Amino acid sequence: MKQKYLQIQYDKRDLKIYKWLWIITGIMTILGLIPCLIYGNKTVRETVLIEERLFEVGMLLIYFGGTLFLGFTFKFFKAVGYLRRLEKYGYILPEKKESYENNISLLVQNAEQGRDLGNKKSCTGIILTMISGVFTIFTVIYNFTMTKVPHFIAILVFIIMTALFARQIFPGKFRDDVDIFGNVNRKVRKNLPDGILEILIVFMVLMFFLVKLTESIPVTRKGIFYHQAIRYEKIHNHRFDLFPDDLPKDAKEGMFNSGYKIFWVSFYTSTEKIENYMEMYGKSEGLTEIYTFDNNEEFARHLESARAYLHTMTATSGNQNCYLYVFDKDRFFVLLNKETGYVWMYWGGTFQWE
């Protein structure tokens, strides 16, 4: 029984087949784009029946042909890369695998050429390391500038992936799939199409599941990332203008929660800072009411309702010094406790008064 590493993966006939399938599906995709570009911007009232049908056919061609086009693009370039590696390693380029019993050892023309190349550093490994490195740098920059909080798992995964590609540069433990001249027990390194596809898949999965999806899930985090989170929110929505740009320098036990419909932050600070907040929010536009423990009997009821969002019961100790600022228009609330130095700010549509 022939070893798997001796099997010929692609021949010239495969290359021709994939080339024509690639061209045909590309033409199908382009034909589908034409009616979509012509009629896609028209309103239903302006579009006649035949144009609607052409648009629907075009969309089907894009979905069906486009999917096949991407698949055959991948297979075509895999075949091109494989045959080029055969040529570089000194093999005959087979017209049909069957003519050589599907055995790569029967294609050998210049074993010395293949042996010398197999002992050199891999250019493919270097290219994949550089590509993965670029994606790693982008992931780091993106996570620290364009997200609510940095997602360190995504960064770590790309660092590990780049390191794994870097290991494949050296011939000691890795070999190309066509290298049968040295130690065949070495691991087969990624070829260029497979490596690029792997990087793209990992990138898309990480960006969707670890970044975009988790951005919409309310999760309580340490206040160290508050500045990045509130900067992100303020860029995308003016409703967060009442939140401070950063926590005070003396802030302790800072926590915040950022979700699709809510955002809150809590921390302890000095009495002086509490008084600054009282003055600032007392003059802020949109203020509808200020509730205090000692002059409004409704305060206790409102505070009890807010308690569902507070991290600690000590926030309400010394109630005589608690002040609740309500901004109904923007659904923004501020709780200040002068005795404990506790600050709690909340925005969101899910807040319910009892």
Residues 47, 127: one domain? no
Q: Considering the domain boundaries, does residue 195 fall inside one? A: yes
> Are residues 138 and 197 located together in one domain of the fold?
yes
Q: What is the mean pLDDT of the chain?
A: 83
Residues 252 and 188 in one domain: no
Q: With 70 as the cut, is the pLDDT of residue 306 above it?
A: no
Mark whether 344 and 223 lie in a shared domain: yes
Q: Return the minimum-mean-pLDDT range out of 44-58, 149-163, 304-318.
A: 304-318
Is 105 within a domain?
no
Asked if the structure places residue 172 within a domain, the reply is: yes
- Read off the pLDDT of residues 202-247 as tens digits, 9 standing for 90 and up: 999 988 877 777 777 777 888 888 999 888 888 877 668 889 999 9
Do 242 and 341 have their domain in common?
yes
In terms of domains, do 87 and 124 share one? no
> Is 354 inside any structural domain?
no
The type of residue at 253 is E
177, 223: one domain: no
Tell which of 215, 237, 255 closes a domain.
215
pTM above 0.85, yes or no: no
Count of positions (residues) in the chain = 354
Q: From 158, 188, 215, give the residue that closes a domain.
A: 215
Question: Does 225 share its domain with 209?
Answer: no
Closest CA to 135 of 73, 193, 198, 183: 198
Domain membership of residue 309 (yes or no) is yes
How much of the chain exceeds pLDDT 90, in percent? 40
Confidence label for 114 from pLDDT (cuts 50, 70 and 90): confident
Read off the pLDDT of each residue in 280-285 and give the average, rounded to a whole number: 88
pLDDT at 346 over 70: yes
Query: Residue 291 is part of which domain span?
Result: 219-348
Contact 311, 255 (CB under 8 A): yes
* 228 and 244 belong to one structural domain: yes
Provide the number of structural domains found in the chain.
3
Q: Could you tell me whether strands 322-327 and 289-292 are parallel, antiparallel, or unpaired per DSSP bridges?
A: antiparallel
- Per-residue pLDDT tens over the stretch 250-281: 999 899 988 767 888 999 999 899 999 999 99
> What is the spatial distance between Cα 314 and Cα 186, in angstroms, rounded to a whole number?
62
Residues 53 and 90 in one domain: yes
Does residue 85 belong to any structural domain of this protein? Answer: yes
Question: Does some domain include residue 353?
Answer: no
Please indicate, yes or no, whether residues 223 and 208 belong to a single structural domain of this protein.
no
Q: Are residues 258 and 333 in the same domain?
A: yes
Please write the tens of the pLDDT for every residue from 146-175: 888 888 889 999 999 999 999 999 998 999
How many Cα atoms are found within 13 Å in the side-chain-facing hemisphere of 303? 26
Question: E strands within the chain?
Answer: 174-175, 187-188, 219-222, 252-258, 262-268, 289-292, 322-327, 332-337, 342-348
Residue 312 domain-assigned? Answer: yes
